[in-house]
Structure 1
Amino acid sequence: MSTSTSAHQWRFFRSGGFDQVAITTAADLQHLALLDPKLWTVLNCPTTGLEFDDKTLAIMDQDGDGQIRVPEILAAVRFSCERLTNADVMFAAPGLPLSSIAEHDSVGAGIKEAARQVLAYSGKDADQLIQVADLQDSTRLFSADHFNGDGVIMPELTTDPVLQQLMVDIISTQGGVADRSGGVGVNQDTLTQFWQQAEHVAAWHTAFTESEGQLCPLAGETAEAVAIFESVNAKINDYFVRCQLAAFDARAVDSLNPVAGLYDALANRVVAGADQDIADLPLSAIAADKPLSLTTGVNPAWAEKIAQFSAKVLTPLLGKTCTELTYSDWQQVSTQLAAWRNWMAQKPDSALHTLGLTRIQEILASDGQLALQALITADLAASTFADNLAALEQLVRYQRDLVTLLRNFVSFSDFYQGETKAIFQAGTLYLDQRSCELVLQVADLARHATMAPFSGCYLVYCTCVRQGEAPINIVAALTAGDVDELMVSGRNGIFYDRKGRDWRASVTKVVAQPVSIRQAFWSPYRRMAAFIEAQVQKFAASRDKEIEAKTTSGVADSVAAPAAAPSNFDIAKFAGIFAAFGMAIGALGTALAAIVAGLFTLFWWQIPLVFIGVMLAISTPSMLMAFLTLRRRNLGPLLDANGWAMNTRAKINLPFGAALTGLAHLPAGAKRSLHDPYAEKKSRWPLVLVVIAIVVVGVVLLQQLGATPG
């Protein structure tokens, strides 16, 4: 690669008020690292909120910070150029030919070999293209019946039924480990754990065999006897400890036996022997060094278990039938069962007990551990294919997506040339007979709303909902048409995303900005008309309330009090009012006459110029402000507010703005009927007012002509 920019002739196109580099050839890619970053349109962009493949962005985002920066772009371009025999394939249709993969080093050879295997697994010929979809089905690429490099082996990997059954046993007792093929299998950790547990379980069973005489004082009945012993152990110990305390101090007897008040809770309800309140009482009445009677005076809740204990444990171990249990007999029985209880306490906590001792001994006597370890080692040795497959997927994705990203990063050719939408354009918003193409997703509404107004665009924020999907927030720029008093919160529209799905869009916020010079020209008159309308409505509402209040109070007064004597008419007062009205009308008439007289002193062709001048004087400030706003209208703040680092202003002038917002037009050749059966009837008053105005103008003109000398 050349080390000077003069070795490559760049081509630029001007759009959006700045020069943008055209990336159309392999040489452009190969020399991209030499292009001054100041000429790049963007310096970084987020990996979310874009109409772009998320996994491709994740592969490109080497540090995983959620941003794609210039070095990461250059790294992706360098990787693509190094691994292709001809970088022109980057500009071809999606799909990577096998012949285009360079194999000048071991890495390239490995990628190409992985590509051959992918074609074979996909049932494709060597001359067919490798697509991203061919690399998505892990069950086909990493089949269970061949090594895939993840260190997990499955029963399908071997034809030996003994090893297959061993793997089934390991999975059933240790749990399966996820394999790249999509199934579950055995890895080194689960194999080691299984073997260790098998040895512990076998050793535990061996200890039983070696000491069976000591462990089983009741032979085959020992397990049942221990279970019965365990069920009463704590309660009998509690009884003897209480009796020992009573012997230690006679004053403790009353406290160690239940107080009489405890039985009050049982007085007014049906009592059952299994009640917990009864079971919590001592096993028998407490007295100093008193043996436990096994037949009388036993707590009813424990009587059945004590009888079981006497028949199944005491009588066989002591060799006699007992009616009472002394503390020494209790210690003797406990000692005889201690060995079994200690052995059970050492029982390994393992699911291997379900396999049975015979199966465990069979496994330990086999060479299954070594055989499975050999399979795991062989599978790990095949990890090269998995690594090469990851590199192949990276290359195939770059071939499909990288140039698109460059045309939305190094330049904005996709946005300005209009052949395809830019990756930041989320879709199309239809609202009030217009379509908005400049629509962006918004993740942080508060941050976006603080920066976006600097774009100079008329912005409409919407919340979009669709059944089965999480709501999304968008902002649309209205760049053409008439939008005076158009958008208010709560209005609804339809948003179509890039997948063609429709969302119900509700306007949540509007940032008003001028849209055109024509709109700015008429804006003062519209505001004046709106002001007059508001004042008339306010005056009419106040008069209506005043009349209603007077009417209500007058009726109330007439009911509450006798009619008052009529007041005398004050002619002087009303004469003054009429005089004031007359003076006001006279002043207005004089002013109107002066204006009309002044107009008729002009030549006829000067009169329209006067009207045009007056209108321009009124509209020029509004038009000037609109011109300045439209002149600075640009895309930069909209993207900066979404986490982009824009390197230029990216202007949106009037012609381009008109292309971004479509207005409703009748189709070419459509027939239109102007007859409206519900049109409002025409009033005669406008004609009457025009006639009156002509008469007034004529009278004034005659007066002026009569006053002219000679």
Structure 2
Amino acid sequence: MKSNGNYDWKISTIGGVTRIRITSGEDIAHLDELDQKLWTVLSCPVNGLEMPQKTLSLIDSDHDGKIHVGEVVASAKWLTSVLKNPDSLVAGGDSLGLDDFNEDNEQGRTLLSCARQILQTAGLDKTSVSIAEAESYLDLVSKRPFNGDGVVVPASAGDDEELKQTIADIVATQGGVEDRSGEAGVDKDKLDAFYAAVSDHVAWLDSGRKDADGIFPYGDDTVAALACVEALKAKIDDYFLRCKLAQFNADPAGLNVAPERIGQIATKNLSDCVGEIAEYPIANVSADRTLDLTQGINPVWTGEVDRFRSLVLNGEGSLTEEKWLSVQDKFTAYRAWLAAKKGGSVEPLGEARLRAVLAAGRKDAIAELIASDKALEESVANVESVSKLLILHRDFYTFLRNFVTFDDFYSAVDGSTKAIFQAGTLYIDQRSTDLCIKVADMGKQGDIAGLSGMFILYCACESKVKKETMNIAAILTEGQIANLRVGQNAVFYDRQGNEWDAVVTKIISNPISVAQAFMSPYRKFADTLSERMKKSLADKENKVMGDMTGKAGSINVPAAEGTEAAKTAAKPPFDITKISILVAAFGMAFSCVTLALKALFKPWYTILLVLAALVVCISGPSMLITWIKLRKRNLGPILNANGWAINSKILVNSRFGSYFTHLVRLPKIKVEDPLSDKTPLWKKILLWLAFIVVVAGAAWLICPADKRPFCSKPEAEVAVDSTAAAEPAEGVADLPAEGVAAEPSESAGQVSSEGAEQVSAEAAL
């Protein structure tokens, strides 16, 4: 099949859907020609998959947490260009021969040279390079002071202590950039930002000193004075506003602290009520609108008031509103100067250190270190590319089998492989299921996963060893579901064999098998009937208990033993009439039912046909619907809810689904249970006799009357010639006169009796 080009793709039907097959390096090289509509997956998450995280991160070139078709195609084109034989991608492996590099490609030659350098540095005389060797060399390079990432750390400065300290100051004030070694360092942007901030802040400090008298009204104490004013501003503003309101109100006492409020805390430990006392006014209102700072001050605020007097008022003991406003005006220039502050990020270093940094002038020296580190970028990048090539050489084909096609998933029939989204195995209710998927967002699962048509157990898993938790969706495809419930405990084993405690948190119920669908209507009917019976019995029990409680006092006390009344109450008279009526009614009912069954089920196999028809009518629709649903079970919605962009159906029919769930298999041996209930021999004999009687009775009823055993057969009927019956026989006298009774013949009497029986049967029916 051709798609978006001239390449002839091979196709196959897997899981009920026609898919493209990727079986060779040539197929991988032409992935850019494959119509995107034919890809099974359009994107998948980087996290939560059973594949090395580094492999997925290397394919995710834009590092957005998702792998898209374009990124897969780019990886395929790069791999097939630097490898001499792309078919080696299908074989995989964690090592690559030096002769596998494509020397006809420029980057292939560069990577080959880097691979040889890796082997030479490690002192290895080999013709192949492995992932472990490349990673070891890359780790060695990363720990060097200069490792090609354009980031320098204090160790990069060698023995220059001033340079080390400056780099440390930059990291402390501007934030560090992670070096390849993992240590925080400085790059060109952080260096420029630091020296700009130092220059700006020193210039701002100098501008304040040029007009020190106007900007610092209290000299070196200006900062402390402003802090004191800010601490008291709200309370003093509140005091003067209360004084104004007191002039407006004839009774100013209500503006002070109410005695009731003080009375509420008077019995308490006042040290525990500091917060409440601080909310009281700073002082009682004054008629002359002057705040006396020496007495009558709220005790919580006396310390701040004393500092205010010392720093701002030069010891004055009172404060008017005009004086208070003039004090605040003194800080106007200082506030404006603070608002114009620049380079605040370096202020914690202190003015002395900032001026020392500018005087040292080591910016150019740090810039040279960064440039030296950056010069090694290409060589280190080549080492990273060799490592990337080796990792993708090992894992890329496996990824394609789970992205372009779902070959690994549909290979579960032989148990050789598992899809990368299969997280492990859940054991619950005497079965295990291998179709378990890590769940990233339970909210999305509730909205979409129900469309899959699968029976899903959502479990919260916790590992006491790893100190981790996760959620999984376990899909059951075999076994009974009656014992499964929310809150049930289970055990989950991940792909590495680690054990997790699992608890069922949610169940999405869907059919598992046609056999269960056969019994489903009866089970639902039985459940409904059981619930109604329980409810009815509970209602009756409540009613009886209520009646007994209500009428307990009205119960008559029985007569004393031995009295005439006691004898009468204990021995009711025997009524033979009632017994006779019951026996007669039972006999009539039995006769009617017997005759009805005989007429209805004739011939005998009619009852089997009726039972079969009833079963088909009851279970048939459920089985048909289940059969259709099982053929349409789709894993796609579950994966979609987990962050995948599925582009095709992922069908899991009955036959394929059976490979994922494994039921318990016990050996076929007979072992006597010492705790089982023992049935006495006489009960067994009675049960067998009852069974024989029922079978014999049914056979007797079904058998025609003239063939029943143990019954007298009717006498043979005398054949009568129709012509002879028409004319009286010779010598036979005329009919007797009116009023004279004729003797009934024996045959006539017999016919009459049988006719009467027939009439009685018809009447009973």
User: TM-score, length-normalised on structure 2?
Assistant: 0.64
1:70-85 equivalent positions in 2, closer than 5 A: 70-85=69-84
| 174 and 30 in structure 1: CA distance in 2 versus 1, 3 angstrom threshold | closer
Q: What is the letter of the counterpart of residue 508 of structure 1?
A: K
2:462 aligned residue? 466
**1:419 alignment partner, SS class:** coil
1:50-129 equivalent positions in 2, closer than 5 A: 50-54=49-53, 56-57=55-56, 59-60=58-59, 68=67, 70-97=69-96, 99=98, 100-102=100-102, 104-109=104-109, 111=111, 127=127, 129=129
| 687 and 638 in structure 1: CA distance in 2 versus 1, 3 angstrom threshold | farther
Asked whether the equivalents of residues 464 and 495 of structure 1 are also in contact (C-alpha less than 8 Å), the reply is: no
Asked whether the equivalents of residues 520 and 622 of structure 2 are also in contact (C-alpha less than 8 Å), the reply is: no
> Which of 341, 358, 377 in structure 1 is aligned with 2:371?
377
Q: What is the letter of the counterpart of residue 416 of structure 1?
A: Y
- Output the CA distance in 1 between the equivalents of 2:27 and 2:173: 59
Q: What is the letter of the counterpart of residue 685 of structure 2?
A: L
**1:642 alignment partner, SS class:** helix
1:364-443 equivalent positions in 2, closer than 5 A: 364-366=358-360, 368-385=362-379, 388=382, 391-392=385-386, 394-417=388-411, 418-442=415-439, 443=442
1:515 aligned residue? 513
Report the CA distance between 1:90 and its aligned residue.
1.6
2:591 aligned residue? 586
Q: What is the letter of the counterpart of residue 84 of structure 1?
A: L
- Output the CA distance in 1 between the equivalents of 2:48 and 2:152: 40
- Output the CA distance in 2 between the equivalents of 1:597 and 1:233: 112
- Output the CA distance in 2 between the equivalents of 1:38 and 1:201: 60
Q: What is the letter of the counterpart of residue 398 of structure 2?
A: T
- Output the CA distance in 2 between the equivalents of 1:694 and 1:191: 103
**1:464 alignment partner, SS class:** strand
| 356 and 460 in structure 1: CA distance in 2 versus 1, 3 angstrom threshold | closer
Report the CA distance between 1:478 and its aligned residue.
2.0
Asked whether the equivalents of residues 464 and 505 of structure 1 are also in contact (C-alpha less than 8 Å), the reply is: yes
- Output the CA distance in 2 between the equivalents of 1:649 and 1:419: 19
Report the CA distance between 1:145 and its aligned residue.
0.9
**1:86 alignment partner, SS class:** coil
| 303 and 129 in structure 1: CA distance in 2 versus 1, 3 angstrom threshold | closer
Report the CA distance between 1:678 and its aligned residue.
0.9
- The answer for unaligned runs of 5 or more in structure 1 is 238-250, 315-321, 326-332, 600-606
Asked whether the equivalents of residues 50 and 421 of structure 2 are also in contact (C-alpha less than 8 Å), the reply is: yes
Report the CA distance between 1:146 and its aligned residue.
0.7
| 119 and 557 in structure 1: CA distance in 2 versus 1, 3 angstrom threshold | farther
- The answer for unaligned runs of 5 or more in structure 2 is 234-243, 320-326, 560-564, 701-706, 717-765
1:142 aligned residue? 142
| 571 and 639 in structure 1: CA distance in 2 versus 1, 3 angstrom threshold | same
**2:476 alignment partner, SS class:** strand
| 281 and 465 in structure 1: CA distance in 2 versus 1, 3 angstrom threshold | same
User: TM-score, length-normalised on structure 1?
Assistant: 0.68
- Output the CA distance in 2 between the equivalents of 1:659 and 1:75: 35
- Output the CA distance in 1 between the equivalents of 2:168 and 2:539: 89
**1:85 alignment partner, SS class:** coil
**1:466 alignment partner, SS class:** strand
Q: What is the letter of the counterpart of residue 478 of structure 1?
A: T
2:503 aligned residue? 505
- Deviation string 1:141-170 (CA, Å, 9 cap, x unpaired) is 433511423x33223223351433433444
| 414 and 168 in structure 1: CA distance in 2 versus 1, 3 angstrom threshold | closer
**1:687 alignment partner, SS class:** helix
- Output the CA distance in 2 between the equivalents of 1:75 and 1:591: 82
- Deviation string 1:304-335 (CA, Å, 9 cap, x unpaired) is 7699679x989xxxxxxx9999xxxxxxx999
- Output the CA distance in 2 between the equivalents of 1:536 and 1:281: 78
1:23 aligns with 2:52: no
Report the CA distance between 1:48 and its aligned residue.
5.6
2:180 aligned residue? 180
2:153 aligned residue? 154
| 16 and 174 in structure 1: CA distance in 2 versus 1, 3 angstrom threshold | closer
Asked whether the equivalents of residues 40 and 410 of structure 1 are also in contact (C-alpha less than 8 Å), the reply is: yes
More moved, 618-627 vs 163-172: 618-627
Q: What is the letter of the counterpart of residue 427 of structure 2?
A: Y
| 404 and 254 in structure 1: CA distance in 2 versus 1, 3 angstrom threshold | closer
> Which of 665, 679, 691 in structure 2 is aligned with 1:682?
679
| 283 and 617 in structure 1: CA distance in 2 versus 1, 3 angstrom threshold | closer
Asked whether the equivalents of residues 449 and 637 of structure 2 are also in contact (C-alpha less than 8 Å), the reply is: no
- Output the CA distance in 1 between the equivalents of 2:423 and 2:685: 53
> Percent of aligned positions with the same letter in both sequences?
28
- Deviation string 1:111-151 (CA, Å, 9 cap, x unpaired) is 556656777888977655443896599875433511423x3
1:652 aligned residue? 653
- Output the CA distance in 1 between the equivalents of 2:89 and 2:489: 42
Asked whether the equivalents of residues 44 and 645 of structure 1 are also in contact (C-alpha less than 8 Å), the reply is: yes
- Output the CA distance in 2 between the equivalents of 1:508 and 1:190: 51
Report the CA distance between 1:504 and its aligned residue.
1.5
- Output the CA distance in 1 between the equivalents of 2:534 and 2:378: 81
| 359 and 685 in structure 1: CA distance in 2 versus 1, 3 angstrom threshold | closer
Report the CA distance between 1:404 and its aligned residue.
1.5
Asked whether the equivalents of residues 487 and 503 of structure 2 are also in contact (C-alpha less than 8 Å), the reply is: no
- Output the CA distance in 1 between the equivalents of 2:297 and 2:512: 97
| 581 and 460 in structure 1: CA distance in 2 versus 1, 3 angstrom threshold | farther
More moved, 420-429 vs 389-398: 389-398
Q: What is the letter of the counterpart of residue 586 of structure 1?
A: S
**2:659 alignment partner, SS class:** helix
| 173 and 651 in structure 1: CA distance in 2 versus 1, 3 angstrom threshold | closer
- Deviation string 1:441-482 (CA, Å, 9 cap, x unpaired) is 4542323354122xxx5x142322315434514141223x4x
- Output the CA distance in 1 between the equivalents of 2:32 and 2:152: 45
- Output the CA distance in 1 between the equivalents of 2:446 and 2:220: 71
**1:472 alignment partner, SS class:** strand
Q: What is the letter of the counterpart of residue 400 of structure 2?
A: L
Report the CA distance between 1:86 and its aligned residue.
2.0
| 98 and 164 in structure 1: CA distance in 2 versus 1, 3 angstrom threshold | farther
- Output the CA distance in 2 between the equivalents of 1:484 and 1:216: 82
**2:634 alignment partner, SS class:** helix
1:26-425 equivalent positions in 2, closer than 5 A: 26-33=25-32, 41-42=40-41, 45=44, 50-54=49-53, 56-57=55-56, 59-60=58-59, 68=67, 70-97=69-96, 99=98, 100-102=100-102, 104-109=104-109, 111=111, 127=127, 129-131=129-131, 140-143=140-143, 145-149=145-149, 151-159=150-158, 161=160, 162-199=162-199, 363-366=357-360, 368-385=362-379, 388=382, 391-392=385-386, 394-417=388-411, 418-425=415-422
- Output the CA distance in 1 between the equivalents of 2:533 and 2:292: 106
The size of the alignment, in residue pairs, is: 656
- Output the CA distance in 1 between the equivalents of 2:553 and 2:594: 44
| 569 and 22 in structure 1: CA distance in 2 versus 1, 3 angstrom threshold | same
